[in-house]
Amino acid sequence: MRPAAEPHDANEIQSLLKADRVLVTGGAGFIGGHVVRQLLAVAPHVAVLDNFSSGTRSNVDEAQRQAGRKATVFEADIRDHAALRAAAAWKPTIVVHLAAQSKVAASMRDPIADAHTNVVGSLNVFAAACAAQASHIVVASSGGCVYGQAGFGGTALHETVRNCAASPYGVSKAAVDDYLQLFTREYRLPGVSLAIGNAYGPSVSGGPGDGVVAAFVTRLLSGEPARINGDGEQTRDFVHVRDVADAFVRACAYRANGRINVGSGTATSLNQLLIEIAILAQRPGNASHVTPAPGEVRDVCLDIERAAHQLGWQPKIPLRTGITHVIQAACAAQAVF
């Protein structure tokens, strides 16, 4: 479905989702909590499926509190095909698939476990969506890892770049993208893969969130040096988690297809990031450099024109503003203890 003309407001999206039942796997996670919160504001029926191994019930509870509405919650593991039957019986019309093993280091240590969760688990979700006769699926992919070292030197990565993953995690996410294309063609399950940059920002339930921004903020506020793998000149495409959640909601509403990058379109080095955080946090920007981690990509900068065209989406929260959000959340969390 082609997006309507700007501005894309909540009423338009709510109208497009008015008859839908949206199931979110991994809805208790960092990104998932924000996606659930935004979906509860526009979709009549929302369900969360999570095994709560890394996601938290507080994320779901806070998403519901902020939206003023309840979601149906299934405690289940995507690796357990039988456990997904109850979710399929809920009859979702749209499935948002966020549940995953998302750590590069963990995938390097145990590529089999990574594939079992990310590939087999995703196939279980796809099969459950087909069993429920869902009309659409929105899958979370990695805007850095599926492209591997293709962005070396600052090349803006377009969705047509051939996969050249540098880690088992990147390979597994690229494989899921390929399976999605297969299910679209052969099993009548159309869908879209959102290749996300480095999502950052406060968790929906409070706290500084996940990722390198949160790690830098937490260490600097505690008077410790930020830990950087390598020389710090590697770049990442940072995108606020609320903007990411907005992209997922739009992908549901507009029934997008293929692969779509979700990022800022700007490359920021870790050294630059640390300087910005130190200034905004009013703390010394000290760093401890350690050996580069295996499997990590050097540079990530995403071309986001397709997101603008197909979703009417663009990032709204600048990096400096987003860093301030993280600092405020971290300070509030520290004040509690």
Distance CA 20, CA 43 (A): 7
Binned at pLDDT 50, 70 and 90, residue 83 comes out as confident
Q: Which residues on neighbouring strands pair with residue 259, listed in sequence order? A: 193
- Looking at residue 336, its pLDDT comes to 43
Distances (CA, A) of 337 to 77, 107, 204, 329, 333: 32, 33, 19, 13, 7
Catalytic, 200? Answer no
pLDDT of residue 10: 80
Under a CB-based contact definition with an 8 Å cutoff, are residues 195 and 302 in contact? yes
CA distance 229 to 251: 34
Mean pLDDT of the chain: 94
Give residue-wise pLDDT tens across range 314-326. Answer: 999 999 999 999 9
**Where does the pLDDT of residue 7 fall: very low under 50, low under 70, confident under 90, or very high at 90 and above?**
very low
Phi and psi (nearest 5°) for 11? -65, -40
pLDDT at 163: 67
Helices (H), the chain: 10-16, 30-40, 57-67, 84-89, 104-109, 111-115, 121-131, 168-186, 211-221, 241-254, 270-281, 305-311, 319-336
Does residue 2 carry a pLDDT above 90? no
**Domains defined for the chain, CATH in brackets:** 17-149+158-197+239-263 (3.40.50.720)
Contact 32, 20 (CB under 8 A): no
Task: Determine phi and psi for 104, rounding to 5 degrees.
Answer: -60, -45
What integer pLDDT is reported at residue 334 of this predicted model?
77
Q: What is the pLDDT of residue 335?
A: 63
Catalytic residue among 169, 179, 187, 254: 169
Give the mean pLDDT of 117-133. Answer: 97
pTM: 0.95
Quick: pLDDT tens for 210-261. Answer: 999 999 999 999 999 999 999 999 999 999 999 999 999 999 999 999 999 9
Q: Please report which helix (H) or strand (E) contains residue 259, including its range.
A: strand 258-262
| Cα–Cα distance, 265 to 157 (Å, whole number) | 9
Q: Dihedral angle at the C-alpha atoms of 294, 295, 300, 304, nearest 10 degrees? A: -160
Percent of the chain topping pLDDT 70? 96
Question: Cα–Cα distance between 38 and 242 in angstroms, integer?
Answer: 9
Query: Quick check: 237 and 284 in contact, CB under 8 A?
Result: no
Q: What is the DSSP string of 124-179?
A: HHHHHHHHTT-SEEEEEEETTTTTGGGGTTTPPBPTTSPP--SSHHHHHHHHHHHH
